[in-house]
Amino acid sequence: MSSAQGKRGLNVYIDPHRCVGNAACTWAAPEIYVLDEETRVAVLENEEDATVEQLFAGARACPTKAIIISQFGRRVYPTILPPMFGDSPKPGSGDDEGTEGTS
C-alpha cells in the first residue's frame, strides 16, 4: 500500500488550545511536526511527505492529546478526549447534574 493510498481521507488537526509546547511530537516525528517559534504550538510542516506511522507517532506522543486524527470525518485518534483545565461540561452531557434523589 502506498503512503498516499494509506492517507486517503486522513485529516490531522492540532488544537492550539490543548497544545502546551511540550515538543514530544517533534521527537516522535521529526521534520513532520515542528513548534511554531512565536506561539510555541505544534504545527504540521510536511504533511505530504509524512507517512501514516509518523502522523500517528506524533499524535500518540502528545501528552495533552492536542493532535487529533480523523479519517473520512470520523475521529480515529484519540477516540476520547480527556477534559482539560478550564473545560466545563456541556449541558446534557450526562454529568451528575440533576440526578440527586434518583435511583
pLDDT in tens, 2-28: 445 568 889 999 999 999 999 999 999
Residue 38: CATH number of its domain: 3.30.70.20
> Is 70 within 8 Å of 79 (Cβ atoms)?
no
The structural domain count of the chain equals: 1
**What's the pLDDT at 37?**
93
Q: Which domain holds residue 39?
A: 3-77
Domain-located, residue 19: yes
Q: Cell numbers 505530504 correspond to what residue?
A: 48
pLDDT in tens, 44-77: 998 889 999 999 999 999 999 999 999 999 999 9
Residue 91's pLDDT band, with cuts at 50, 70 and 90, is low
Cis bond upstream, residue 30 (ω within 30): no
Where does residue 81 fall: left (phi above 0), alpha (psi -120 to 50 degrees), or beta otherwise?
beta
The grid coordinates of residue 7 equal: 492517507
